[in-house]
Amino acid sequence: MSAQSPAERAAFLRAEIERHNRAYYVLDAPEIPDAEYDCLFRELQDLEAAYPELATPDSPTQRVGGAPLPEFGQVTHAVPMLSLNNAFTAEEVVAFDRRCREALGSDQIDYACEPKFDGLAISLRYERGVFVQGATRGDGTSGEDVTQNLRTVRNIPLRLIGSGYPDVLEVRGEVLMLRADFAQLNERQCAAGEKPFANPRNAAAGSLRQLDPKVTAMRPLRFFAYGVADVAVFAAVGPAPTFHSEMMERLARWGFPLAAERAVVQGATGLLGYYEKIGALRRGLRYDIDGVVYKVNRIADQERLGYVSRAPRFAVAHKFPAEEALTTVEAIEEQVGRTGAITPVARLTPVFVGGVTVSNATLHNADEVRRKDVRVGDTVIVRRAGDVIPEVVAVVTEKRPILAPEYVLPKKCPVCGSAVEKPADEAIARCTGGLYCPAQRKQALLHFASRRAMDIEGLGEKLVDQLVEGGIVKTPADLYRLSADTLVRLERIAEKSAANLVVAIEKSKQTTLARFVFALGIRNVGEATAKDLARHFGTLAALMAADEAALERVPDVGPVAAGSIRRFFAESRNRGVIEDLLKAGVAPEESAGLAVELPLAGKTFVLTGTLPTLTREVAQARIEAKGGRVSGSVSKKTDYVVAGADAGSKLAKARELGVAILNEPQLKELLSDES
């Protein structure tokens, strides 16, 4: 923990773990190997055990996974889908067995063992033997409703086989992709010119979360059951199973696929023997696993052992160690992401690790390179755990060549030559040439054309891909040189669509200054800030000429946003694109500027509830036309809260803070020309 206090370290770990939870469970884009995540989680658990006052209710040790995606409906699990505690050493497995024996007063315990699948945990609900709903684990309490997608997974029974099952049954298990199926899927992806998937786990998670079930149906997903939500439901249809292994056999009879490598063993010796056996078989299995799971086999004993806050006491996951190897750093290069993020990448002497040959490893960011002190020529430990992107774990400094230079973050973007910025309070460095940089080209064009920016209807992702990859459009200014003849030569663009797009592009030339500023894609400048800037400066020239001090005089523009705006306009390549846009006829509407001349200048409003005649959009537009600003939250800086029917917590907060409250007639009076 070095200079950090226990409280500071715990706060850091909580924030870091939650960030990685979201990357793994919600975005399906893990940033670190499972082994490194486990280290962070274990460190936080140890801290909270040593300092109980640090164990806050919102700690990730008290919950599971991440929030469900908003695109899907939400399902509340009848029984929470808990995570498992982990064991990493033989000593920890022996300790687990000892705790179970002592709690149960038994000399020896039987355990049900199974591989730990590396897929996506789901719950399947059956009513009278018919599959009615399926959901992801989500945050453990509620998950995403992916019923229609799960119906396309061919080895999930839509109707149970035989008889004797409960009226309501929730089966828990894992959706995954077999290694052979994954390889074939990636071959098809490459043949179609699409990006291949990183690993089977990401391919399975991404396939299950498709909004179109037809896409999911084309992906070779499999399901394996590993338990039920509530064993008590069996009592209504006859004798309940005595053992977990017996319950699993019932699931098999009803049509659920199970792992063939299941076993029942006795005591710690049996557990460790099973671990060694599966470890030896791991490379030859049809699917990826990252460990094995042990469960007390007798169900009555499971109930006696019970649960801690986030995991059962009767089960543990014994994780395989991360697979590591030594190799040499031949170069450190920078990759530029579609949002301008600069990521250092180590080019390695190829080495076989984790079942594949690795020649590149992420270094995450410049701070991480300096923290680990990775240099060209270094011998490094490379880890490939959980089939995630390989990373450099540590440097073997005693093997470092003499005079190996320290890594220096480049001042210029390696792709376009624009300046690179790295704010002091951020870990990520970024290219500032957002309108010009080829690495950011597609993202910049899509944002520029979006509905709340320049609103160019018909310019979607697939068309942008063709325009950029064909070298037809390099900057947003090139859009205004497109002709219908050029567009109809592209794939799947009919004459009418081409003509409509040309009309939409021409129409977009007449826009507001606020929309134009938002369309530029300046970092830290959202739609509301763009409106504030337009209202304050009035003209594009005045905004582009403003220094940071002048920018900070705009309401709600702080030092971070002011710095981003100034650096964006200071980059000559961005200014060149803006000049080309103006020459092409783009004419952002300008005004006298400085909202101090307007009657509601400097006043902040919050809208809550339903107004009798005004929609929220109309009310906001009328307030902004008078120089006011509409915020989404109530604070001491709020001047007015406009409350309609069914106003909730915002109205209560306004009363608590003594903020002026208006109804619709009072708002209209304030907005009237006579006011």
Of 515, 532, 540, 526, the C-alpha closest to 449 is 515
Token pair for 514:
């606020």
The string of DSSP codes covering 233-248 is: GGGGGSSPPSBHHHHH
Of 80, 79, 65, 78, the C-alpha closest to 18 is 65
**CA–CA separation, 119 vs 125, rounded Å?**
19
- 3-class DSSP assignment, residue 222: strand
**CA–CA separation, 99 vs 107, rounded Å?**
11
Report the chain's terminal Cα–Cα distance, integer Å: 60
Of 304, 238, 391, 359, the C-alpha closest to 102 is 304
- Is 505:484 a contact under the CB 8 Å cutoff? no
- Is 165:251 a contact under the CB 8 Å cutoff? no
- Is 86:282 a contact under the CB 8 Å cutoff? no
What are phi and psi for residue 371, nearest 5 degrees? -65, -45
Token pair for 629:
């600003």
Token pair for 251:
């699931």
Strand partners, 294: 113, 316
- Kindly give, in sequence order, each residue whose CB lies less than 8 Å from that of residue 306, ignoring residues fewer than 6 positions away: 312, 313, 314
**Is 98 exposed, middle or buried, given 0-12, 13-18 or 19+ CB atoms closer than 10 A?**
exposed
Query: Which amino acid belongs to residue 54?
Result: L
Q: How many residues does the chain have?
A: 675
- Is 385:33 a contact under the CB 8 Å cutoff? yes
Of 68, 55, 52, 42, the C-alpha closest to 11 is 55
**Residue holding tokens 């590396």?**
118
Token pair for 321:
């160690």
Task: Give the sheet arrangement for strand 640-643, strand by strand.
Answer: 629-631, 604-608, 640-643, 660-662
Token pair for 271:
């557990």
- Kindly give, in sequence order, each residue whose CB lies less than 8 Å from that of residue 25, ignoring residues fewer than 6 positions away: 65, 66, 137, 138
The helix (run of H) or strand (run of E) holding residue 464 is helix 461-469
What are phi and psi for residue 256, nearest 5 degrees? -90, 135
Q: Is 295 a catalytic residue?
A: no
- 3-class DSSP assignment, residue 201: helix
- Is 235:229 a contact under the CB 8 Å cutoff? no
Query: Which amino acid belongs to residue 566?
Result: R
Name the catalytic one among 116, 295, 319, 603: 116
**538 — alpha (psi -120 to 50), left (phi > 0) or beta?**
left
Cite the active site residues.
Answer: 116
